[in-house]
Amino acid sequence: MRYAERKKPVWDVSRPIKVVLLSGPTAVGKSKLAVLLAKEVKGEVVSCDSMQVYKGMDIGTAKTTLGDMDGIPHYMIDLRDVSEPMTVVDFYRQAMEAVEHIARKGKIPIVVGGAGFYMRTLLYGPPKGPPSNPLVRTRIEDEMEKFGPEMLYAKLRAIDPDYAETITVQDKQKIIRSLEIIAIENKKVSEIPKPSQEDVPSHIDFKCYFVYYPKEILYSLIDTRCDEMLRRGLLEEVKHLRKEGLEYNVSASRAIAYRQAIDYLDSPQSPEDYRLFVERFKKASRNYAKRQFTWFKKEPHFQWIELDRKAPSLLIDRIKYDLVK
């Protein structure tokens, strides 16, 4: 998407644009909070979700519906067909274009999502390594499934011990990505410059929040949302998307909800298969929430705010105060 208003910005360039980054674990209610906040601060919402950019990936991504938007413009949703993968570099450029478009209108950009890697990209700029190569990545992901993380981590340590020391055998995605970079670039990951504080755009003042519930509350919300997705027709959605080329998009077909649904649809679909499907879907969702907590603990820009289910206005008042400081 390209925006018509490519004129000089209306903001004072000597004063940075204030941008809210609102994140938190899956099922915490970020999208609803973003709409409530937008109404209070005259804002517009930018989705920071690597799967919501795809048309038709609606139920499994908990994509905000037109009704739930409640008149608030939303960006970075339904940009591509599911058979057309979007790189993180493409995402960064279009998301920043949306942010500046909103600012030109005199509104507050509110970026909302739980994808730590994509939030970090907005803060520091896109990765300086090569774009992902679907063929190379699929081969390495298949090796991960076949041989396990221990063998691939040992391979990484043999090739690039300096980078391997910065992660653990539990960091499956980082192991996969590092081996992918090595295969594509024939260069060690440790030799590629890392994004840093100096890479944060100087004309943007990010106000960053990680909102959460205690895990005993959150996990109940996750299970309930998984059940709701199934009730709304997740399996039918996946059947349709497979016809549209879902499995040509490696990242999309391996996303939580879609991967488990594909495995179930390829099974004999017995009652036991369905039980295992639901169990694995919920477990994968809870594990993702754990990873989100771990990721954002390493991000110094984010304020952590425990939510009060009875008073979301407390969070909104806090952000409003920060915006006027």
| Mean pLDDT, the chain, whole residue set | 91
Per-residue confidence (pLDDT) for residue 250, from 0 to 100: 81
**Token pair of 310 as six digits:** 């009875």
Across 8-17, 44-53, 292-301, least confident range: 8-17
Could you tell me which CATH number the domain at 218-288 has? 1.10.287
Work out the burial of residue 170: count CB atoms within 10 Å of its CB; fewer than 13 is exposed, 13-18 middle, 19 or more buried.
exposed
Could you tell me which CATH number the domain at 134-191 has? 1.10.20.140
Per-residue confidence (pLDDT) for residue 206, from 0 to 100: 95
Across 121-130, 133-142, 224-233, least confident range: 121-130
Contact 178, 160 (CB under 8 A): yes
Across 31-45, 218-232, 306-320, least confident range: 306-320
With pLDDT > 70 as the criterion, what percentage of the chain qualifies? 93
pTM of the model: 0.84
Residues in CB range of 45: below 8 A, 6 or more apart? 31, 34, 35, 38, 64, 69, 72, 73, 74, 75, 110, 111, 112
Q: How confident is the model at residue 15 (pLDDT cuts 50, 70, 90)?
A: confident
Look up residue 60 and give its DSSP letter.
Answer: T
Per-residue confidence (pLDDT) for residue 3, from 0 to 100: 54
Nearest CA to 238 out of 186, 287, 276, 281 is that of 281
Contact 40, 316 (CB under 8 A): yes
Return the domain boundaries, the chain: 17-127+198-215+292-324, 134-191, 218-288
Residues in CB range of 37: below 8 A, 6 or more apart? 20, 22, 43, 110, 315, 316, 319
pLDDT surpasses 80 at 117: yes
With pLDDT > 90 as the criterion, what percentage of the chain qualifies? 78
* Domain 17-127+198-215+292-324 coded CATH 3.40.50.300: yes
Per-residue confidence (pLDDT) for residue 1, from 0 to 100: 52
Q: CA–CA separation, 123 vs 230, rounded Å?
A: 35
pLDDT in tens, 58-103: 999 999 999 999 999 999 999 999 999 888 889 999 999 999 999 9
Q: How confident is the model at residue 129 (pLDDT cuts 50, 70, 90)?
A: confident
Nearest CA to 114 out of 67, 155, 62 is that of 62
Per-residue confidence (pLDDT) for residue 10, from 0 to 100: 47
pLDDT in tens, 133-192: 889 999 999 999 899 999 999 999 999 999 999 888 878 878 999 999 999 999 999 998
pLDDT in tens, 260-271: 999 999 999 999
Can you give 206-260 as a three-state secondary structure string? EEEEEEECCHHHHHHHHHHHHHHHHHHCHHHHHHHHHHCCHHHCHHHHCCCCHHH
HSE value, Cβ hemisphere, 13 Å, CA-based, for 230 = 16
